[in-house]
């Protein structure tokens, strides 16, 4: 499998939020605005890349019985690093994301990649997998955050985009809005992918015929 393909699969085909439904807690909790979604996504990506690298280096030395606790300790160390770095240099964003920074430890996406990819593949491949999956996660959080910010606040990344006539629906920024927005985004993805399949189907038929 080529490196580009690994990267692409992580970005869309195995998208953590939309396809695998992993890492839902931060995805729903911090996406009250697009910028929060990006920040959370990038923090998780950094942890994911680091943990993928270390797991793929030490994979041969860890007895398989204790591998899960070992992975959790590796992930927790990097989360602590990110937590302290963000607190020092990005204090405002750290305050907004709050509890969900230490909770990156229990983001099943990261443990899932350690278990299903990094523990079986080389370091270089694991780095590309980490970048792909991580950016896919960031992308999903950005989409969810944008939808909620536009509907709930009439702006995106802090810039107002809707006219005077638009009355923001505050509920979209509140907790119920997260569930509803994600439900409709998943509906849209199902619909688009199905349409694409229908469009491509007759073409294949012709080429065979």
Name residues whose C-beta falls within 8 Å of residue 25's C-beta, 6 or more positions apart in sequence.
100, 103, 106, 107
Phi, psi of 140 (to 5 degrees): -60, -45
Strand partners, 156: 159
159 bridge partner residues: 156
Distances (CA, A) of 150 to 27, 123, 127, 136: 17, 40, 34, 21
Cβ proximity to another protein, 62 vs 72, nearer residue:
72
- What residues from 11 to 70 belong to the interface with another protein (CB under 8 A)? 21-22, 24-26, 28-29, 68-69
In angstroms, rounded to a whole number, what is the distance separating the alpha carbons of residues 185 and 72? 31
- Of the candidates 54, 79, 131, 135, which one interacts with another protein according to CB under 8 A? 79
Q: Kindly state the smallest distance separating residue 207's Cβ from another protein, in Å.
A: 28
3/96 with CB nearer another protein: 96
Q: Contact at 8 Å (CB) between 8 and 2? A: no
Among 157, 161, 175, 196, binds another protein (CB under 8 A): 175
Contacting residue, 157, 190, 196, 200, with another protein by CB under 8 A: 190
96 contacts another protein (rule: CB under 8 A): no
> Which parts of this chain interact with another protein (CB under 8 A)?
21-22, 24-26, 28-29, 68-69, 72-73, 76-77, 79-80, 83-84, 99, 102-103, 105-108, 111, 171, 174-180, 182-184, 186-187, 190-191, 194
């Amino acid at each position: 499998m080529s490196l580009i393909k690994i990267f692409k699969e992580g970005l869309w085909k195995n998208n953590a939020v939309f396809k695998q439904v992993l890492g839902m807690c931060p995805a729903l909790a911090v996406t009250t605005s697009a910028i929060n979604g990006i920040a959370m996504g990038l923090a998780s990506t950094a942890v994911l890349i680091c943990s993928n690298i270390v797991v793929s280096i030490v994979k041969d030395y860890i007895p398989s019985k204790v591998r899960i606790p070992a992975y959790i300790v590796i992930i927790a160390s990097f989360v602590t690093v990110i937590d302290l770095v963000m607190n020092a240099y990005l204090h405002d964003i750290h305050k907004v994301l709050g509890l969900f920074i230490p909770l990156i430890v229990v983001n099943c996406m990261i443990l899932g990649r350690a278990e299903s990819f990094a523990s079986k593949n080389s370091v270089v491949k694991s780095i590309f997998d980490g970048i792909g999956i991580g950016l896919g996660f960031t992308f999903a959080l950005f989409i969810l955050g944008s939808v909620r910010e536009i509907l709930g606040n009439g702006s995106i990344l802090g810039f107002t985009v809707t006219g005077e006539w638009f009355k923001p629906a505050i509920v979209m920024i509140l907790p119920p809005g997260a569930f509803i927005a994600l439900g409709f985004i998943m509906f849209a993805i199902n619909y688009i992918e199905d349409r694409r399949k229908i469009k491509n189907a007759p073409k294949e038929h012709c080429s065979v015929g």
